[in-house]
Amino acid sequence: MPPLVLAAALVIHLALVSPWLGRRSYARLERERDRDGRILTRMFTAWTTELWALAAVALLVVGLSPEIDLAGVGFVLPADPGTTAGMLVGAAIGLAVAVLVAVRMNRAGRPVPGQAAFRAMLPRTPAERRGALVLSVSAGICEEIVYRGLLIALGTRVLGLPLPVAAGLALAVFVAGHLYQGWRGMAMVTLAGFGLTMLYLRTGSLLLPILLHAVVDIRSLLLVPAGKRDTLDGVATVRG
């Protein structure tokens, strides 16, 4: 299959098919969460599998395309170690503050900001928490390869778009992939995606965006308010 055809099929899937599938599976999760004790684990597995399949297709496009190479999709170390170190320290401080605030809210039994958009996905059991961890790390790796690395490279190197336009379109497709979270959730995803995009463009490497993306997703899915977790765990145990 010609790389351009494969890339077009991937973009169509990302922009149209994946958002629809995600919304449908999340709606089913909301309906059946309390009746089916394994539905969330199955959904985590399905979503994780899809992420790695999309990343594999993205890398296949890179391998087949004469216009794109691994360096062009961010598979390089940041060029400026000093700037990268500064960004890493700044990101670490910001994340530490965010995590500390989330932990305090967790212990107080208060919801972490933004979790309402994907409340049904919050894990209740050890198996679900393991699935959430695997999904978070997979999203950090695979979504950055696909949405930041490949899509921006396709826009600039294949379609000849200006970098801001290509980055903006890639961000729009990334946000569409979170359709299941509703408009409020997608607004938060837009802000996070914009930050990750700027980090990638500033460093030219996917390393920091992958690390930051994974940590943000882990914080979002695994820091569940203690009181709510205890209650939900009880429900899951009874139904299991």
Q: What pLDDT shows up at residue 25?
A: 96
Cα separation of 78 and 158, whole Å? 23
pLDDT 10s digits, 102-132: 667 666 666 666 677 898 999 999 999 999 9
Pick from 102, 98, 78, 73: nearest CA to 88: 78
> Number of folded domains in the chain?
1
Per-residue pLDDT of 3-55, as tens digits, reads 899 999 999 999 999 999 999 999 999 999 999 989 999 999 999 999 999 99
Q: What is the pLDDT of residue 81?
A: 72
pLDDT digits (tens, 9 = 90+) for 152-210: 999 999 999 999 999 999 999 999 999 999 998 999 999 999 999 999 999 999 999 99
| Single pTM value for the model | 0.85
* Residue 126 neighbours by CB distance under 10 Å: 9
41-77: pLDDT as tens digits: 999 999 999 999 999 999 999 999 999 999 999 999 8
Which phi-psi region, left, alpha or beta, contains residue 225 (left: φ > 0; alpha: ψ -120 to 50)?
Answer: beta
Looking at residue 111, its pLDDT comes to: 60
**Domain interval for residue 192:** 3-239
Q: Is 34 exposed, middle or buried (0-12, 13-18, 19+ CB in 10 A)?
A: middle
